[in-house]
Structures are given as C-alpha cells and as structure tokens.
Chains A and B, each alone.
Chain A
Amino acid sequence: AQKITQTQPGMFVQEKEAVTLDCTYDTSDQSYGLFWYKQPSSGEMIFLIYQGSYDEQNATEGRYSLNFQKARKSANLVISASQLGDSAMYFCAMRGSRLIQGAQKLVFGQGTRLTINP
C-alpha cells in the first residue's frame, strides 16, 4: 500500500521568502510518480509539479521545484520568492506504476496550509 505523510499542518512565511513543504512517502513499487497540488479556498485542485521515480533531475516549474531524495523517500516542494497568492492548502500525492492497471489512482497526504504574510 502507498502512503503519503505531510507533517506540517500549517506554515507561516513572509512574502518574498522561500518556503519548503515536507512530504515523505512509502511504497513497495519500483516505479511511481509524485505530484504536488495547490488547493486555494475556492476548492479546485491545481497541479503544480511532477516527479517520476526514475527521473535523475529534480523537477522544476517556474517558482516551484521538487527536492526528490529517493533513498530517504522524500519529495519536498520548494517555492521560491513566495507571493500572497501562494496562500493555500498544498497536497503531496503519489501514484503507482503507470504500467499496472489499478495503480493510476492518486494517494494524497493530509496537506499543509501555507499562509504568506505581507
């Protein structure tokens, strides 16, 4: 079974500072994918970044980067130069091998509520 753990229920950061949101995972699959989603107060889940288990480079998307440490089973999200609009819930998620039927579902952590202070 797959499991995602996010140990920070809430984070408070000053605008323009960088912030790291923690995520650890547990799986017995050799091939898997890791995702981060943002959920503003409006409720919609917004995809931010993806990391494949066999990707050697850490994923980056604009101000978002994923600090992937496979041996430690961690996939932390780093947001550089935070903005007021970054205030939201952030969820880490994983799926199993895309080659295995039934492994496509996402397993989510409990989320971290990020608040950016002006």
Chain B
Amino acid sequence: DTGVSQNPRHKITKRGQNVTFRCDPISEHNRLYWYRQTLGQGPEFLTYFQNEAQLEKSRLLSDRFSAERPKGSFSTLEIQRTEQGDSAMYLCASSPPVGDNEQFFGPGTRLTVL
C-alpha cells in the first residue's frame, strides 16, 4: 500500500524560472489538496480538487500559480516566473470520498528560489 507521493522532493531554481510539481494521491481518494508551508508556520491552503474539478482556490494563489488534475488522479502545481518569496515546502494531501475527511499528506516538495 502506497501513500501520497510527491515529486520532486527538492527543487532549486533561479528567480524567473517556471517549476512544476507532481502529486500522486492514494488511489481511491477523490479529494486532493495543495498547501504551502513556510519556515516556522503551519501549512496554508492553496487549492482543492474533487475528482478533476477544482472547487476552491485560496487568495494566496496568485495568477502565477496554476494547478490541474486532468483525469482525477495525479495533480500538478505549476509556478510561473518564480520569486524568492515562493520558497517554501509545498504539501499535497488526499482524502477519501466518505469518512471524517482526514487528509493524508505526502512528504512535500521543498522549493528554493535563488
């Protein structure tokens, strides 16, 4: 049984470059979430998918951020024209269609923008 996986685990990029992260949820989970966590803070919600539909986006998600879940399975999060303030841990979580909505988190992708 595999949990939520995220790739890459670490990404170092130069300011202005585009980056894309991938999240593979637990197979039977139809709900998928992206969060961002900066040092010393709790995770902050970015966006949420139910199957392939993106149902909610945070105001934190500027126009440079886009997320997709084209077939209702894996999801990608793209950041265009990265800025130093985008440096953070990007966490993906998934939850099943029924139950208490406990969210299972992946190991995260740590982004460093130089």
- Complex: how many Å from CA A106 to CA B95? 12
Using CB atoms, name the residue of chain A closest to B105: A45
Question: Is there contact, CB below 8 Å, between A47 and B107?
Answer: no
How many Å from the CB of A91 to the closest CB on chain B?
5
Tell me which of B21-29, B77-85, B96-104 binds A.
B96-104
Q: Which of A37, A50, A107, A108 interacts with B100 by CB under 8 Å? A: A50
Contact in complex: A105, B56 (CB < 8 Å): yes
The B-contacting residues of A in range 25-84, CB under 8 angstroms, are 33, 35, 37, 42-47, 50, 52
B75 to chain A, nearest CB (A): 15
Contact between B56 and A50, CB atoms less than 8 A apart: no
Q: Do B42 and A43 touch across chains, with their CB atoms under 8 A apart?
A: no
State whether B101 touches A33 (Cβ < 8 A). yes
From known contacts A45-B105, A50-B102, A95-B101, infer whether A108 and B56 are also in contact, taking CB-CB under 8 Å. Answer: no
Q: List chain A residues, Cβ under 8 A from B65.
A: none
In B10-65, which residues have CB < 8 Å from any A CB?
31, 33, 35, 40-45, 48, 55-56, 58
Question: B102, A101: Cβ atoms under 8 Å?
Answer: no
Tell me how far the C-beta of B38 lies from the nearest C-beta in chain A, rounded to whole angstroms: 11
A104 within 8 A of B: yes
For the complex, what is the distance from the CA of A111 to the CA of B37, rounded to whole Å?
A: 12
Is B91 an interface position by the 8 A CB rule?
yes
* Chain B: minimal CB distance from A48 (Å): 10
- B3's nearest neighbour on chain A, judged by CB, is A44
Cross-interface CB contact of A106 among B43, B56, B106, cutoff 8 Å: B43
A102 near B55: Cβ-Cβ < 8 Å: yes
Counting CB contacts under 8 A, is B89 at the interface? yes
- When the two chains form their complex, are residues A93 and B42 in contact, meaning their CB atoms are under 8 A apart? yes
Give 23 CB contacts A-B under 8 Å.
Answer: A4-B42, A35-B103, A37-B105, A43-B89, A44-B106, A44-B108, A45-B91, A45-B105, A47-B102, A47-B104, A47-B105, A50-B100, A93-B42, A102-B56, A104-B48, A105-B33, A105-B45, A105-B56, A106-B33, A106-B35, A108-B42, A108-B44, A110-B42
Binding site for B on A (CB under 8 A): 4, 33, 35, 37, 42-47, 50, 52, 91, 93, 95, 98, 101-102, 104-111
